[in-house]
Amino acid sequence: MYELIKVNDEIYYVNCPSRVGVVKIADNEVFLVDSGSSKDAIKKIKKNIDDMGFSIKYVVNTHSHADHISGNKYLQENFGINIYGHGIDKYFINEPNLESMFLYGASPYNTLKNHFLLAPKSICDDIPSNILDFSFMELSGHSFSDIVIKCGDIWFIGDIVFNEEAVLKYHVPFIFNVGNYLKSLEKLRNLDGSLFIPSHGPIIANVNEVVDFNIKVIKDIVKLILDFCDVYHTTEEIFDYILSFYKISNDYNQSVLVASTIRSFLSYLVDESMLKIEFLNNRLCYLKYKNIDN
Ligand SMILES: [Zn+2]
Ligand SMILES: [Zn+2]
């Protein structure tokens, strides 16, 4: 684990659960796509990069989730390495406390301030507009403003697709904005490239298959919510139903991630006129529109 896997003469990735991209920009200089899930992980990654004779010039984060940015601080504080990010995610990288505040919707209890949800703080700047080492595109929806990064004809695609193993394990993969996520999947389908390297799961040659799988995951959850909302239900009732349907075990982190994702689905279904939202006996409830065929 943590060894560099060569893709071509310029591009490597680090073999670990939260994959890190290593891209050569000069004879002995590289930049990283994301920085790993912990200080321990980035120390091992940096040692293997050093052993190859490479020096790290900067890090570009695909988005702000802790498993992608937790090596930033170690690299920045000890080696003066610049960290770059994009959009709203850049602000969350600068203020990692925002992540658990956002997920919980208020000041979170201490149990939620753990390394899955709270990365070490680093100073993250906008990606310089004159950078020539790579190109990038915003494909948001999993997070606020996720980016995919193109080097030659290889794409680093962060978390914008979920693999089958992750879906079997988590059932409701984290999504911030369902509508944007579906649009991003269609844009991914049309990207020109020979290989797509996600942060988790198998490397992708045929992106269409993976896009179709992810669209099906979304449609299955939509159907589940719409079927349940054939009669009025509150957010809590919908949440409890989804948790018990998928037999999602009691876990504090998983609970806030799924609750946030379900609220994202409810917003999407209301905005797409598939669910209506009404107060019933002072309870905010959702009901499927009768003409919706799901
Ligand atoms: Zn993520
Ligand atoms: Zn991730």
- Both tokens of 135, joined, read 């190109």
- State the pLDDT at residue 260: 96
- State the pLDDT at residue 95: 97
Span 268-293, pLDDT tens digits: 999 999 999 999 999 999 999 977 66
Strands annotated E in the chain: 4-6, 11-14, 20-26, 29-33, 55-60, 82-85, 124-126, 135-138, 147-151, 154-158, 195-198, 233-234, 275-280, 283-288
- State the pLDDT at residue 293: 66
| CA angle (57 as vertex; 56, 59 as ends), nearest 5 | 85
How many other CB atoms are found less than 10 A from the CB of residue 261? 22
Ligand 2 center from residue 285 Cα (angstroms): 32
Considering the segment(s) 4-219 as one domain, its CATH architecture is 4-Layer Sandwich (3.60)
Indicate the length of the chain as a whole number: 294
- Both tokens of 31, joined, read 């930049």
- Domain segments of the chain: what residues? 4-219, 222-288
Pick the ligand that lies closest to the CA of residue 34: 2
| CA gap 15, 200 in Å, rounded | 10
- State the pLDDT at residue 248: 87
| CA gap 114, 253 in Å, rounded | 9
Q: Helices 252-271 & 235-245, crossing angle to 10 degrees? A: 120
Q: Which amino acid is at 187?
A: K
Span 203-230, pLDDT tens digits: 999 999 999 999 999 999 999 999 999 9
Q: In this structure, are strands 195-198 and 154-158 parallel, antiparallel, or unpaired?
A: parallel
**What is the CATH topology of the domain spanning 222-288?**
Arc Repressor Mutant, subunit A (1.10.10)
* DSSP secondary structure string for all residues of 15-76: -SSS-EEEEEEETTEEEEE---SSHHHHHHHHHHHHHTT-EEEEEE-SS--HHHHTTHHHHH
Pick the ligand that lies closest to the CA of residue 142: 1
pTM (predicted TM-score)? 0.95
Which of these, 227, 201, 228, lies nearest to 214 by C-alpha position? 201
Span 76-101, pLDDT tens digits: 999 999 999 999 999 999 999 999 99
Residues around ion ligand 1, judged by CB within 5 A, are: 65, 159
Cβ atoms of residues 18 and 200 within 8 Å = yes
Ligand 1 center from residue 288 Cα (angstroms): 30
Ligand 2 center from residue 69 Cα (angstroms): 10
Ligand 2 center from residue 170 Cα (angstroms): 13
